[in-house]
Amino acid sequence: MSLNKKCRLVILISGRGSNMQSIVETIKNKHLNAEVAAVIANKTDAKGIQWAQEQGLATQVLEHKQYVDRSSFDADLAQAIQQYEPDYVLLAGFMRILTPEFVEQFTGRLINIHPSLLPLFPGLNTHQQAIDAQMQWHGCTVHFVTPVVDHGPIITQGIVPVHHDDDVNTLAQRLLTIEHQLYSQVVEWLAAGQICLLDTGRVQIQGVSHRAFVA
C-alpha cells in the first residue's frame, strides 16, 4: 500500500457495532490516512448499520439466514467485500464462523477482535469463562485471522482486572472500553503502514516495541 493512498477498510459487524463506531470516530478525530469504504452486516437488525448510515458510510446487509449453507453465504460476502477494494477487512463483533476458502482470499488482510486473552478462551461466553476460571485478569486480542477460529498472529492485546464481585455484564463493560482503544490503535498502525506480518508468522509493528494495553 502506498503511503499516499488512504488505507481502505471494510468493517463487518453483526450487532451493536461499538468497535466499528470507535474506529470510524478515531479515523475522523485523528485525521488518519484511512477510510471506511463500507460497513457490512449479516443481520438486518444490526444496530450498527443504522449508525453507519447516519454517518454517510456505505452499508450493506447480507442476511446469512437467506443462504442454504455457509459456503454460499461466504462466497457472496467475499464478492460484496471485494467490490469496495479494501486493503484490510476488519471483523468487529462479526458473529459468524468463516470458511477456510473465505479466509484464504484475505490472507494477511483479515483482522479480528476477540474478547479474551487468546489463546485462552476461544469461542463464545469468554467473560463467563474468565470468571469461572477465577482469572484475576481478563483481556482482548486483535489478531490476523487464519482458518482456525480465534487463532492467528497476534497484533496486540489489552487486559483489565477482574473484580471479586464482577458478573458478565460488569466485566464485559470494563473490557469493551479497552477493546475500543485497542482496535482504534490497530487502525492507526494500519493507516501508517506500520504493521508487518512476518514470514515467521509473527507480527511486527514498526517503531513500536511495547504493544500491550493495561486498563
Contact 121, 129 (CB under 8 A): yes
Strand partners, 196: 204
- The secondary structure of the chain in percent helix, strand, coil, rounded to multiples of 5, reads 35, 25, 40
Rule CB under 6 A: choose which of 10, 41, 110, 113 binds ligand GRF: 113
Size of the site for ligand GRF (CB under 6 A): 14
Under DSSP, is residue 154 helix (H, G, I), strand (E, B) or coil?
A: strand
Among 24, 40, 77, 115, binds ligand GRF (CB under 6 A): 115
Told to check if 150 binds ligand GRF by CB under 6 A, we report no
Q: Is 139 in the site for ligand GRF (CB under 6 A)?
A: no
Distance in angstroms (rounded) separating the CA atoms of residues 154 and 156: 6
For ligand GRF, which residue of 10, 13, 52, 89 counts as binding (CB under 6 A)? 13
DSSP secondary structure letter of residue 65: G
Q: Which of 7, 12, 41, 92 binds ligand GRF (CB under 6 A)?
A: 92
Rounded to an integer, what distance in angstroms lies between the CA atom of residue 1 and that of residue 179? 26
CB of 111 to ligand GRF, least distance (A): 12
Q: Which residues bind ligand GRF (CB under 6 A)?
A: 13, 15-19, 92-93, 113-115, 140, 176, 179
